[in-house]
Amino acid sequence: MEEKVYKSYAFLEQLEAWLLSLGLSETSAHHSKVLISILGIVVLAVVANFIAKKIIVAILTMIVKRTKNTWDDYLVKRKVFHKLSHLAPALVIQFTIGIALYEYSPNFSFVIERLTYVYMVIVWLLVINSLLNALHDIYLTFEMSKNRNIKGYIQLIKIIVFAVGAILIISILISKSPAKLLVGMGASAAIMTLVFKDTILGLVASIQASANNMVNPGDWIEMPARNADGSVLEITLNTVKVQNWDNTITTFPTYALVSESFINWKGMQESAGRRIKRTIFIDVRSVQFASVELLEKLKQIQILKPYLEDKIKEIKEYNEKIGAETDMPVNG
């Protein structure tokens, strides 16, 4: 490593010597050397970005489309490779900016390096976010996704990842250890709890609803307190979106699923039937034994005919078997 750095500095010294040979003053040659170095870094970063996006990502996309698997298509759909390619120019800047600027301005070089680190952390956060979205899309292709919603878990992982990323970014900018930041944040935990109260409640409710299989996207629920009566479109960390029977959209907090009561009509949908309860008033004086004439008349109803014929035959065989006196209707 030291040999490579030495050769890089030697190249810059040769460049400065060449500029001096052109008749430039020592100050002008020094500034020109730094400017040329920065332009060279920019060109290298642009070339690295072009190679990563236009060649490597294009080749990977072509390979993915030719495979028989479908899960890798979601990686392309969510642009995982495309976002990962943003690291290429950052790596070029990271490995070259110190050599070009350290001698000229160590402080400026340090700032650029820190900003590059921050940029790389942000890129990794975007890559992980896209990867988690792709994993969720892949999960939705399985049959089990109809009964188990994992979007709450995915969002929980995202919160943890972005929280860690935010701590890393702050620690890079202030040049402090992430562990020290965590210790300092412990004192403000109570304030954070109040600020993110709804998010925490939604997080707990989302996990409970998913773990207990209380409700899933596609279920028909009825919650009069929230004016919700329709199909669940989406369950996120903070909100539940329901499309009502009249195509209106109702949105309410996720923790309402746990703190309030609601009716889930999923069982009715899966059974392909519905029980309807109605009050029917019957005059008891009109209740009597069915006569032969009435049975013959009822046989004219096509759906009742097979049942009546089988039932009459069964009753006749039973009466003959026990020797019942059919003159009295109660005996038959």
Nearest to residue 147, comparing CAs of 63, 87, 205, 219?
219
Strand partners, 264: 221
Instruction: Answer whether residue 304 is part of any domain.
Output: yes
Beta bridge partners of 52: none
Which of 117, 141, 165 is a domain's end point? 141
In a domain, 46, yes or no: yes
Which of 86, 118, 141 corresponds to the end of one domain?
A: 141
Is residue 52 a part of any domain in this protein?
yes
- Residue 30, pLDDT score: 63
pLDDT for the residue numbered 2: 42
User: Which residue stretches of the chain have pLDDT < 70?
Assistant: 1-31, 33, 100-105, 184-190, 272, 326, 329-332
- Position 7 scores a pLDDT of 42
91 within a domain of the structure (yes/no): yes
Q: What is the pLDDT of residues 275-314, one digit of tens each?
A: 777 888 888 888 888 888 888 898 899 999 999 999 989 9
Domain boundary among 80, 113, 141: 141
Q: Which of 182, 157, 188 is nearest to 167 (CA)?
A: 182
Residue with tokens 């430039």: 24
Domain for residue 249, yes or no? no
Q: Is residue 54 part of a domain?
A: yes
Whose tokens are 């995982």? That residue is: 80
Number of domains in the chain: 2
Is residue 32 one of the residues assigned to a domain?
Answer: yes
Would residue 10 count as lying in a domain? yes
Q: Where are the beta strands (DSSP E) in the chain?
A: 220-223, 228-235, 239-244, 249-253, 263-264
293-302 core/surface letters (b: 16 or more CB in 10 A; e: else): eeeeeeeeee
What values do phi and psi take at 222, rounded to 5?
-130, 120
Dist CA 332 CA 321 (whole Å): 11
Q: Which domain holds residue 326?
A: 288-331
